[in-house]
Amino acid sequence: MAEKLILPTEIKVCATCSYWDGERQVDAEMKVVVVSEGCQGECLVQEAAKPGLHDVRKECGCIWEDLEPDGPADDEPPGLAA
């Protein structure tokens, strides 16, 4: 059984990025990501295999994006509200 790691969503590693497609569990209420220690996935931006714990702070081709939702979507475009 692989060890599980719990990471705050704001930690800049591949596993906490919305562009990484590896296996993870996200707890939106607690704002944490749970991954196995040796997890692997693909970076959808770079189209390359990346380990979940890869530190992206010094990676030039990275467009790390927090897993946090942007907020509620508006049903109407701006300026058209009743």
Does residue 43 belong to any structural domain of this protein?
Answer: yes
CA 42 centroid distance within chain: 12
Query: What is the predicted pLDDT for the residue at 69?
Result: 61
CA 68 centroid distance within chain: 8
SS3 state at 14: helix
Copy the structure tokens of residue 5. Answer: 């790691």
Query: What is the predicted pLDDT for the residue at 80?
Result: 53
Query: What is the predicted pLDDT for the residue at 21?
Result: 96
Query: What is the predicted pLDDT for the residue at 47?
Result: 96
What range does the domain containing 20 cover?
4-51
SS3 state at 36: strand
Alpha-carbon distance of 67 to 20, in angstroms, equals 10
Does residue 57 belong to any structural domain of this protein?
Answer: no
Q: Please list the ranges in the chain whose pLDDT falls under 70.
A: 1, 69-82
What is the number of domains present in the chain? 1
Query: What is the predicted pLDDT for the residue at 28?
Result: 87
Helix (H) or strand (E) holding 29: none
pTM for the full predicted model? 0.78
Query: What is the predicted pLDDT for the residue at 4?
Result: 93
